[in-house]
Amino acid sequence: MKTKAPVAKNERLDVTIADLTYQGMGVAKVDDFPLFIENALPGEELTIQVTKVQSHYGFARAVAWKSESPDRVKDVDKTYRQTGIAPLQHLAYPAQLKFKQHQIAELFSKDHQDVDVAPTLGMDNPTQYRNKAQVPVRMIKGQLETGFYRQHSHDLIPLTDFYIQDPAIDAAIIKVRDILRQFEIPAYNEISDKGVIRNIMVRRGYYSHEMMIVLISRTQKLPSQAQLVDQIHQALPEVTSIVLNVNAKKTNVIMGNVTRTLYGKPTIEDSLLGLTFAISARSFYQVNPQQTEKLYQMAIDKAGLTGEETVIDAYCGIGTISLALAKHAKQVYGVDVVSEAIEDAKVNAQKNHLSNVTFEINKAEYQMAKWQEDGVKPDVVVVDPPRKGLAESLIDSTAKMGPKKVVYVSCNPATLVRDVTRFQELGYEIDGPIQPVDQFPQTPHVESVTVLVKK
């Protein structure tokens, strides 16, 4: 029998915010029926208007505040909320760190697990931290503009300061935008599938200050390509690499499969935990270098290596964790599905004179099964999967190999809880507190390190 929701669309109500969702929206309950409200914080009393009603929950917007949270930050730019760049900027930073700790603890308690979650490791400056930007380019009123999409839409809001990005990257985007305007290069039009430039991507080494500009284009060649490239590297002295990425498909995927170096080298270099890494246009590299060092150091410390161990790094990317582990282990095996990442990883092993590392191109779950069949016996397995978490087959293969420890670096607490439960069914248990690390200040995302040991 379908029960009727206790609220109706457009109805105005007075509510008290009880909690924040994992997306950072306020939650108010009307007869146990949850309403989600943007820009509302726990403890606040406000008048809301219901905007949408589903069978089990609804959405509302704040109309007026009767009381405000002591954790509310007043002076915020609503553009960052509209575009989803900084959805938590209205929450004071110490409260953001508590929210992230609470988020992990809450998900485990919903799963009837009482786990210890340590306070979140934060940043001294929780802004201007991103070392990579991918910004869409569109024509607005006949002029090429760079900015960010309004949430849940493809309407571009022009922006010059992205708040959470390295300011040198923001400045570079404007220089490139102005040069594209100068050469009258048209931006891509999604509707007509015409035009040229779809996105501009900039990467900048935190320690090296080497900069890469990637122009993502619908066409195989850019109009006035040679002059354009010349102008960019003259305008931006830090640029050591200019790359063209071709994406001719009608798609929401940002990058295509064809990448050509137009100036300099195909990679930039940066260092992490004292190691040097070559980073190409399409390879994954953590966007917050200061926090990544804390995160990876934590993973290494928790692995407890003595120099005698065999370690597997599933989802190794360009080898950042693998090579850091290799300095403390006997042998490290890394696997990743992206072939360019593995090419970079092999180059990075040579750069850092580390010969005790083997890299394979494969899906992590297939390679784990293969290593297991080949009789590889790891002492420690490190996993750092994407948001969707681990494939069940990977967890099964890992458990069959029987490592003493599994170090799980997670970027999604929901899949972490699911995967940890599976490991527990196969004879592993959580060892010590889970350690959250704030890789993405001003957003609801949280990374964490969990150690599982064989019972």
Active-site residue set: 411
Residue 219 amino acid letter: T
Q: Determine the Cα angle at 185 with ends 180 and 189, to 5°.
A: 115
CB 281 within 8 A of CB 435: no
Tokens of 54: 């589903």
CA distance 455 to 426: 10
Tokens of 180: 């594209």
Residue 339 amino acid letter: S
The DSSP result for 249-301, as a single string, is SSSS-S--SEEEEEEE-SEEEEEETTEEEEEETTS---S-HHHHHHHHHHHHH
CA distance 40 to 173: 33
- The number of C-alpha atoms within 13 Å of 298 and in the hemisphere containing its C-beta is 24
| Bridge partners, residue 13, by sequence | 48
CB 119 within 8 A of CB 169: no
**Beta strands per DSSP E along 160-228:** 197-204, 211-217
Number of Cβ within 10 Å of residue 78's Cβ equals 10
* 364 SS3 class: helix
The DSSP result for 97-142, as a single string, is HHHHHHHHHHHHHHTT----BPPPB--SS-SS-BSEEEEEEEEETT
- The number of C-alpha atoms within 13 Å of 166 and in the hemisphere containing its C-beta is 22
CA distance 19 to 42: 5
> In the chain, how long is the greatest CA-to-CA distance?
69
- Classify burial at 80, counting beta carbons within 10 Å of its beta carbon; exposed 0-12, middle 13-18, buried 19 or more: buried
